[in-house]
Amino acid sequence: MKPSPLTTTRGGRVLLGTFWIGLYFLLTIGPLAIIFFGHTPPGRGFWIELSVALGFIGMAMITVQFVITARIGHINGPYGIDVIYRFHRQISILSITLILIHPIMLFVADPAQYLPLLRIWDAPLRAVLAWLGLLGLITIAATSIWRVKFGLSYETWRILHSILAVAVLAFALGHVLGVGHYLEQFWQRGMWIGMAAVVVLVSGYVRLVKPLLMQRKPWRVTNVKRECGRSWTVELEPDGHKGMRFQPGQFAWVTIGRSVWMIREHPFSFSSSAERSDRVAFTIKESGDFTNHIGKTKPGTVAYLDGPHGVFTIDRRPDVKGAVFIAGGIGVTPIMSMLRTLADRGDTRRFMLIFGCPTWDEVTFRDEWPELEKRLNLKVVIVLDDPPKDWEGETGKIDEALLKRHLPEDRAEFEHYICGPPAMMESVRDVLPTLGVPAERIEMEEFELA
């Protein structure tokens, strides 16, 4: 399928991005129309109405979260998936706060009527549903913030998160319909039921349609190669289909050696050239439950890819004079994909890679850098934390002084791509503008979504 200009051109992305923001406000503030245009129940003061309004907005925000995190290309495209996940986290905090304020305000405004609802054992069903929803929300927040402290693996947390989110929405909907204020008219009830129906459809797409589509396009592992830096390159070929077209720097959610229905997928950047959609590779560092065993994967193992995703790609900036890539550790993988692709395309623009690693033995792809320097107008600067005795190159951290020494004079016209450990990315992002790189010329890819 040909990619839409809405996701491939800058103007298209701005248009689409603005459209989604507008729609977001409409959907989250929209339920207030029920209050404005509905019949206000008699004898209720300002604070009770405000409390209901906050509850409505909070619930609408939670409903929209399901759509935001469904990995729909047209929604993620204008912003990038890391921005979407950050937004998801921040909006979750805001919506939980609004929903918590809702009962507190009721207790303060009319304690005689609302405080008895705290006695959950003889409270009406609509109040019990509200408390269950609130408990679910607090559990979601606590397990998301303190997942590691609670000893939850990422996969367990993800399954729990999905189940609780659906339960919270069901309880909240039951509560709203049970209370019944502002729901006399069909369109008022229809608005909430419609939003819940969208959640059911989106969940069906994510949990049923998408896995089915992926199952119809399996991949086979053809080779697993050890790389420097406790990493492995896993090569895949399509099994009975044409493969996957992607832009260099993008990533996919990868399932290897398991059923597509088990939700055991992990995001990895393509490290291979985007010029080959019929043979892709991921370079994976041992760093946890799944990745520690990746080196044992046997050729012939089945794999499934959900992708491509992401906006960290030089293909979105075809007009730039050149690019500076700044990588730390395994963050070099999307950059390797970009450089291999640029070399395959015979791109003659100027490129620079500044690559920080702890030691020489951890310089991933170290044998290929000299070859890429020959194929491209590329300068590679390796920076080692702990260099060998005879090392003559750069040492220490990628800091302001080092960047000043190496960045091209006309760097303001270069696109800068940063990927690596969070601390390194933040410090480089803060330093670049002081060296004359405009903020809009800085792109980052985060490997930590959760």
Cα–Cα distance, 335 to 329 (Å, whole number): 11
CB of 444 to ligand FAD, least distance (A): 11
User: Which candidate, 444, 424, 170, places its Cα nearest to that of 325?
Assistant: 444
Select the residue interacting with ligand FAD from 48, 64, 284, 424 (CB under 6 A): 284
Nearer to ligand FAD, 312 or 414 (CB): 312
Which tokens sit at 20? 């989604």
Angle in degrees, 0-180, between the axes of helices 186-204 and 46-68, rounded to the nearest 10: 30
Query: Per-residue contact track with ligand FAD, 293 to 322, x per CB under 6 A?
Result: -----------------x------------
CB of 98 to ligand FAD, least distance (A): 27
Nearer to ligand FAD, 72 or 431 (CB): 72
> For residues 320-339, which are near ligand FAD according to CB under 6 A?
330, 333
User: Which candidate, 420, 336, 411, 351, places its Cα nearest to that of 385?
Assistant: 420
CB of 129 to ligand FAD, least distance (A): 31
Stretch that binds ligand FAD, among 35-43, 60-68, 285-293, 430-438 (CB under 6 A): 285-293
Q: To which H or E segment does residue 237 belong?
A: strand 231-238
Largest CA distance in the chain: 84
Q: What is the CA radius of gyration of the chain?
A: 25
Query: Per-residue contact track with ligand FAD, 146 to 165, x per CB under 6 A?
Result: -------xx-----------
CB of 396 to ligand FAD, least distance (A): 24
Nearer to ligand FAD, 178 or 267 (CB): 267
Nearer to ligand FAD, 292 or 434 (CB): 292
Nearest to ligand FAD by Cβ — which residue? Answer: 288
> For residues 243-272, which are near ligand FAD according to CB under 6 A?
251, 265-269
Nearer to ligand FAD, 107 or 154 (CB): 154
> For residues 55-84, which are near ligand FAD according to CB under 6 A?
none
Cβ distance 130 to 100 under 8 Å?
no
Report if residue 355 touches ligand FAD, rule: CB under 6 A.
no
Measure the CA angle with vertex 10, ends 8 and 11; round to 5°: 110
Nearer to ligand FAD, 307 or 322 (CB): 307
Q: To which H or E segment does residue 189 belong?
A: helix 186-204
Report if residue 232 touches ligand FAD, rule: CB under 6 A.
no
Cβ distance 69 to 217 under 8 Å?
no
Cα–Cα distance, 322 to 125 (Å, whole number): 63
> 210-236: b or e for each residue (b if 16 or more CB lie within 10 Å)?
bbeebeeebbebeebeebebbbbbbbb
Report the interface residues with ligand FAD, using CB under 6 A: 153-154, 251, 265-269, 282-285, 287-291, 310, 330, 333, 447-450
